Structure 1
């Protein structure tokens, strides 16, 4: 494809990140722009790792479904049966299926329906205290139910941390290790990892706010079920074919996860995946302080485009342009 329009749009918007377009496993366009570390003028490269915020939710959903396939869980498993006395405000009727489909009605520790500018949000506990799944109990607790389970769709970050907690407790394996073993390894996503923001290795981009500060004080020091994994655009070129050829979970489960469960504004939602309002197109996306990400895949044409940026709004102009092609 002709990348001149992408180059022009990247220059116009000051885009920092990576753009990749592939079809049937063949890369048609891939280019890196901007800086991974502004203080040391380190440029982004095609293999630079970026945080993807809520793009992580699809990997969480697949981890949970893999545990369903192995008999450790079911869609009808209630959260209460695993949580015991923890998080007592979660309705006893809430199931794994409700959580996966954002239809649980539980109160959210980070409610995007009532949050203002993403850069202004501050976690209620010091970010360095959110490194393990169990540590998230401190922010998940105390949020009243919004509506009865399965009444409607309401995007819920906390619900996916609850899913991570359930997965960890029923398997006896730390959630981060579960995602690596059950999703990243079979998908060939060798550069995808839950990294600590205060110990980022080489070949990893810092996230930047509009005022040029990094996002290190705005996000948990290590991501979890609702967001925060680091990855590359190339790993998502591997992810989508792996999903739809049954290498992560069975093809029947992949189809079930990408079946519409709810209308969600301008899109639809399945189990952990966004879906186009009318076409056979599956998406994962993430938006947070210093992070923007969108990966779009059409299963029948095998066309994928991924835009991943280390700024809060960087990905959107380019991914909208690619949507229109």
Structure 2
């Protein structure tokens, strides 16, 4: 039977196609650690950049499910006097759907790769992000339109910590990674990566350690593997992480066209039939797309910045064009 053949030109990372309990194809290329000469493998952990937002949204919805928050809870109610420029009517749902209108510390409508305004080593916990988030005027009234907002998802992490009494990384582990059996996933320090984790590299060959927060938060910094991402999608849609009604909220197309023909739900991009998490930053590229009808996941994780979104889309379309039930 004809084998799948993805576009791997210039790729450095892992590309995976899994359906149910089957691995339909996996390819690993390049080095996870150039100094030590360690190759990427299908078990290598990679940074997810903004793919983390999907986990943040699921965590927030889990708190909604137990009544600690509601979609209508205002950020101000939880923040108190912190971040005073966030408008009083901004809700959890506005933050989840990128319709809050709050000013963004890393505004991708201006420059998504701009240097951070504080030394990255100071960003070692979610509360440490508060000075970075402060001082940005409102861009537009809450609910007016979609505008992708990194800072909004860190605000969600701050709120989740406060209402749960649990550090955000631990909260995601307890509420997402553990029920999904994502044993290789977490929020490692960038200056103390665990074995089996890819180092991110910039185009000049240097690592990304001086470009990204030392510990991630609600908008980025989680690390995972292609296997764990497939487990995540399957557990999510089986109702093992949050209740089915909350899953419906997560994947509901709130914004029909958020740009490039993509719809957006609450922490999930909707690309045709694919539920999609995606992220890109200095030395990080991550896309995982899942077809719920066939339980097929196509993931592309890289430790360099390389075009991945279109590649995973083309590979998923190639899978759909075949009878892949017998592929292995």
TM range (shorter): over 0.9
RMSD between aligned residues: 1.3
Q: Classify the secondary structure of the residue corresponding to 2:90.
A: coil
Q: Classify the secondary structure of the residue corresponding to 2:5.
A: helix
* 2:124 counterpart (115, 121, 131): 131
Deviations 1:223-247 (A, max 9, x none): 1000010100000110111010100
**Offset, 1:319:** 1.8
**Offset, 1:124:** 0.6
* 1:304 counterpart (288, 292, 297): 297
Q: Which residue of 1 aligns with 2:315?
A: 322
Asked whether 1:164 is paired with 2:157, we answer: yes
Asked whether 1:264 is paired with 2:263, we answer: no
Asked whether 1:122 is paired with 2:115, we answer: yes
Q: Classify the secondary structure of the residue corresponding to 1:139.
A: helix
Q: Which residue of 1 aligns with 2:178?
A: 185
**Offset, 1:317:** 5.5
2: CA distance, partners of 1:158 / 1:253: 23
Q: Is the 8 A contact 2:11 2:306 kept in 1?
A: no
Deviations 1:273-314 (A, max 9, x none): 0002xx332100001010001001111122210010001125
Q: Is the 8 A contact 1:25 1:237 kept in 2?
A: no
1: CA distance, partners of 2:40 / 2:86: 42
Q: Give TM-score, length-normalised by structure 2.
A: 0.94
Q: Which residue of 2 aligns with 1:141?
A: 134
Q: Classify the secondary structure of the residue corresponding to 2:277.
A: strand
Q: Which residue of 1 aligns with 2:69?
A: 73
Asked whether 1:44 is paired with 2:37, we answer: no
Runs of 4+ in 1 over 2 A off after TM superposition: 1-6, 314-318
2: CA distance, partners of 1:46 / 1:160: 29
* 2:24 counterpart (23, 28, 50): 28
Q: Is the 8 A contact 1:283 1:295 kept in 2?
A: yes
Q: Is the 8 A contact 2:120 2:211 kept in 1?
A: yes
Asked whether 1:210 is paired with 2:210, we answer: no
Residues 152/249 of structure 1: CA separation in 2 closer, same or farther (3 Å cut): same
Aligned residues: 316
**Offset, 1:3:** 5.0
